[in-house]
Amino acid sequence: MSYQFNRWIITLGAQVRSLHENMSCKELEKVKREAETSETELQQLYAYAELHHIDLIEYYHPFAEIEKHLLLINEYLHCG
């Protein structure tokens, strides 16, 4: 698939993983804003894949990791 799409997934994955690993050191509002931005970007990735007929099966693991980290961040926000 396209270099741009691959870079986008890698970059978003790294951002979300970093946010998850460092969220306890940040203010809750900042974590919330960054999580919302990441969720929006993830939806844009899905829309891009649909528009360009990209088979997401080969990207299952990176997308699953992103979704997992976002879920854990949201659980943290709702318990914090």
| 9 Cα distance to chain centroid | 8
Structural domain range at position 70: 3-79
pLDDT at 2: 84
Please answer whether residues 6 and 54 qualify as being in contact, where contact means their C-beta atoms are separated by less than 8 angstroms. no
pLDDT 10s per residue in the chain (80 long)? 589 999 999 999 999 999 999 999 999 999 999 999 999 999 999 999 999 999 999 999 999 999 999 999 999 999 85
Give the total number of structural domains in the chain.
1
DSSP assignment, residue 26? S
